[in-house]
Amino acid sequence: MGRKGITDEWLIAAIRQGGKTGEEAMKWMYLDQTFHRGVLTIVKKGGGDQDDFVTVLGDSLIILQGKILEHDFLVEKSLRKLLNKIAKNVWLNHLRKKRSHGHGGDSENMRMVDSAYEKLASKECIEAIQALIKDMQPPCPKLLQLAGLGFNHKEITELLDIDPKRGIFTSKLYRCRKKLRKAMMAQPDLMEFCNSKLRK
C-alpha cells in the first residue's frame, strides 16, 4: 500500500481491527521511511548503527501498538511524534543495558556508549524537571530558571523585582527549591532516573 491515503486515523482503526488489516498497518509503519525517520535520527545521534535502529524501531512499534490497543488511547499530536517519544526511551534503555553489561567490546566503544547514554539521560532528566518547574506558581519558575543559569542574587532580584534583601531572596529561593523537590518526590521514577542512573 502506498503512502497516499494513509492517516493516523486509518492506522489506529486498522490496528484495533486486528487480523490482516492490523498486520498491514504495522508493516506500513515499519517500512515507511518518512514515518520512522525520526527514530533513525535518535539512534544515530546516540552513536547507534543500523542494527540498533532495527532493534529500537521494532521494540518501539510494539509498544506503540500496545498503547493504541488501550481503550482510553488518545494521540495528542501524531503517531509519528508519539513513536519518536517512545523510541527515545527505548534507545535510552538500550544504552543503559549496554553500559551495565559491558556490551560492545573494546574500551573505546564503551566510552562512546557512555557518552551517548549520558547525553540522552541528562537531556531527559533536564526536560522532565523543566516541565515540573513550568507548572509551579510564580515567582518560582523564573527564579529557579535564572538561578540555574548562573545569575547572581543582585541580578535576579532586579530582573524579577524581588526585595533585594539577601535574607528575603534566600528564603524565596529555598522555598521554591523545596517545592520542586516535593514535586520530584511525587514522581519516584523521575527521582530514580535523575539521582541514580547517571551514576552507574
Q: Last residue of some domain: 88, 123, 158? A: 123
Residues 4 and 89 in one domain: yes
**CB-CB contact of 103 with 97 (8 Å):** yes
Q: Last residue of some domain: 71, 88, 123? A: 123
Residues 78 and 110 in one domain: yes
Q: Which residue segment(s) compose the domain that 34 sits in?
A: 1-123
Q: Last residue of some domain: 123, 146, 170? A: 123
Give the model's pLDDT for residue 83.
Answer: 93
Residue 196 lies in a domain: yes
Residues 99 and 144 in one domain: no
Give the model's pLDDT for residue 39.
Answer: 92
Give the model's pLDDT for residue 121.
Answer: 56
Measure the CA–CA gap between 165 and 34, rounded to whole angstroms: 56
Q: How many domains does the chain have?
A: 2
**pTM for this entry:** 0.52
Residue 130 lies in a domain: no
**Per-10-residue mean pLDDT for the chain, 200 residues long?**
71 90 88 87 84 87 88 82 89 73 49 51 69 86 81 84 83 88 78 56
Q: Please write down the long-range contacts of 127-134, taking CB distance under 8 Å and 24 or more positions apart.
A: 128/187, 128/190, 128/193, 128/194, 129/180, 129/184, 129/190, 129/194, 132/180, 132/183, 132/184, 132/187, 133/180
Give the model's pLDDT for residue 195.
Answer: 62
Measure the CA–CA gap between 183 and 180, rounded to whole angstroms: 5
Residues 63 and 146 in one domain: no
Residues 162 and 183 in one domain: yes
Residues 70 and 160 in one domain: no
Give the model's pLDDT for residue 2.
Answer: 44
What is the Rg, in whole angstroms, of the alpha carbon atoms belonging to the chain? 22
Give the model's pLDDT for residue 124.
Answer: 67
Give the model's pLDDT for residue 79.
Answer: 92
Give the model's pLDDT for residue 193.
Answer: 63
Residues 115 and 140 in one domain: no
Give the model's pLDDT for residue 74.
Answer: 80
Measure the CA–CA gap between 78 and 54, rounded to whole angstroms: 21
Residue 129 lies in a domain: no
Residues 102 and 199 in one domain: no
Number of residues that this document lists for the chain = 200
